[in-house]
Structure 1
Amino acid sequence: MIPIGDNIRCRSKPIINYWLIGINIAVFLWELRLEFSGELGYFINSWGVIPAQISGAITNALFFNNSAAWIIVIWRAFSLLLGIFLHGSFSQILGNLLFLWVFGKTVENILGHGRYLGFYLATGAIASLVQILAEPSLTVPLIGGNGAIAAVLGVYIMKFPKAKIDTILPLIILYIPIEVPAFFYIFWWFGQQLFYGIGSLNIPPVGVNQSGAVFWGQVVGLLIGAAFMRLKK
């Protein structure tokens, strides 16, 4: 099922949402260039969220008074934000950007431009922290804006649970336009994760996102978005 729009009118242009989508696309194109040149593995392993490296650096900095470890902590802290804009497959970025296009513009209209940007970055970073806590010894990079987009979806569902989402249902060679209640997309959001391996990029040595911690990061993102909207009321 492919969401393409909703029936909620926006009072202003979602310029931040456009920029977020544009940055994601630009970074992914850069990843494709790096894959072609054989440098993608180094780039992802340098800037993706690797729980073992972050948890190890924090342990050395706090408990062993290792000043060099603080440099690693600060450097790796940037990965909590940069990792939001990295993607490991064509299906992952297409799925994420479809949801961001449909639900993000309305959430930006609710929160305002500046607050929406802060909310997106903060929830993405928090989702990454949850992934680190869930599996601190993991050595595989975790990337993607899934946690931030799940939070956006949580805000949308809390505000407009009965909104109708314009959806295309692909049936082999036919595409049937239908309307689906917004609440349904909570389940479809997690269901589509099963297809994120399609069109994977070649990221040596072990790929990315090979952990159940990714799931928990998204669950927390969804709950943060719902709770935020609940408190805002």
Structure 2
Amino acid sequence: MIPLKDYNPTRRFPVVTVLLIVLNALVFLDDRLSGHYESFLVETARGLVQTKQFVGGLSSHYALVPAALHGAPLLAWPTIFTSMFLHGNWLHIGSNMLFLWIFGNNVEDVLGRPRYLFFYFLCGLVAALAQVASAPVSTIPMVGASGAVAGVMGAYLLLFPRARILTLVPIFFFFTFLEVPAFLIIGWWALIQFLNASWLGGGELLRGGVAYFAHVGGFATGILFVLLTGVKRRPQIYRR
């Protein structure tokens, strides 16, 4: 299921959310322009396979490497935050920014701009630490805003569980559009992240791939933030 938009109007323009999206986009474009692709031979069970890997660019200097937090912590800790603005490819940044736009504008509306900005980086920080704890000796660079975005989704789930989300749903070989409540699509997403991190081994960063523990950590932080700060839910008015 791919969320496309929600029917949940805001009272104020989401300045912080838009600025975060623009900043992520600008950093991604600069990263693409300053780096390049190189071919490598990777040994697999069937022999050597040639593959391409993106090297150079901002990612080579500002990505978070879990093992570096132990070896050179003073230099590595700032990368927890710089890595939040880096993305691996167009699909990576596209999905993160889509989710941030759909869910972030309403969360910003409720929290207020300064607190929302603090909340965003707090979720990203805890998400990064959760992933590092799952693979502390990994030397695979970690990038992406998905941990912070997961926190936004966790907050949205508590604040607007019944908000209607226009969703693209695959049915066999076809796609259809359905309106589903937020608790269903966010709950389904959270279940997938938890299963991958806990039982299916998908959260291990040693081999690369999706940082599922970061998603779980950020999501849990978003929920706890709303519960512990006593943020009030406002009445929901759905507009078509």
Q: TM-score, normalised by structure 2?
A: 0.76
CA contact under 8 A between 1:135 and 1:213: conserved in structure 2? no
The aligned counterpart of 1:99 is 99
* Secondary structure, counterpart of 1:142 in structure 2: coil
CA contact under 8 A between 1:16 and 1:108: conserved in structure 2? yes
When you count strand as a share of all residues, which structure comes out higher?
2
Q: Deviations over 1:120-161 (max 9, x none)?
A: 112112211222222111000011011100100000001111
Q: Find the aligned partners of 2:60 and 2:206 in 1 and give their Cα distance.
A: 12
- Provide the alpha-carbon RMSD of the alignment: 2.6
CA contact under 8 A between 1:50 and 1:139: conserved in structure 2? yes
The aligned counterpart of 1:221 is 218
Query: Which runs of 4 or more aligned residues in structure 1 lie more than 6 Å from their structure 2 counterparts after TM superposition?
Result: 171-174
Pairing of 1:75-90 with structure 2 (within 5 A): 75-90=75-90
Q: TM-score, normalised by structure 1?
A: 0.78
The aligned counterpart of 1:55 is 70
Structure number with greater CO (CA < 8 Å, separation at least 6) is 1
Structure 1 residue runs of 5 or longer lacking an equivalent are 58-72, 194-207
Q: Find the aligned partners of 2:102 and 2:190 in 1 and give their Cα distance.
A: 16
The aligned counterpart of 2:12 is 12
Q: Find the aligned partners of 1:129 and 1:8 in 2 and give their Cα distance.
A: 32
User: Which of residues 27, 42, 58 in structure 2 aligns to 1:43?
Assistant: 58
Q: Deviations over 1:45-83 (max 9, x none)?
A: 3211101111223xxxxxxxxxxxxxxx23222111110
When you count helix as a share of all residues, which structure comes out higher?
1
Flag the 1:157–1:55 CA change in 2: closer, same or farther, 3 A.
same
Q: Find the aligned partners of 2:131 and 2:91 in 1 and give their Cα distance.
A: 21
Pairing of 1:1-233 with structure 2 (within 5 A): 1-36=1-36, 40-41=55-56, 43-57=58-72, 73-169=73-169, 176-189=176-189, 210-211=207-208, 214-233=211-230
What percent identity do the matched residue pairs reach?
Answer: 36
The count of corresponding residues between Structure 1 and Structure 2 is 204
Structure 2 residue runs of 5 or longer lacking an equivalent are 39-53, 194-204, 231-240
Task: Note the C-alpha offset of 1:174.
Answer: 6.7
Task: Note the C-alpha offset of 1:185.
Answer: 2.5
CA contact under 8 A between 1:52 and 1:137: conserved in structure 2? yes
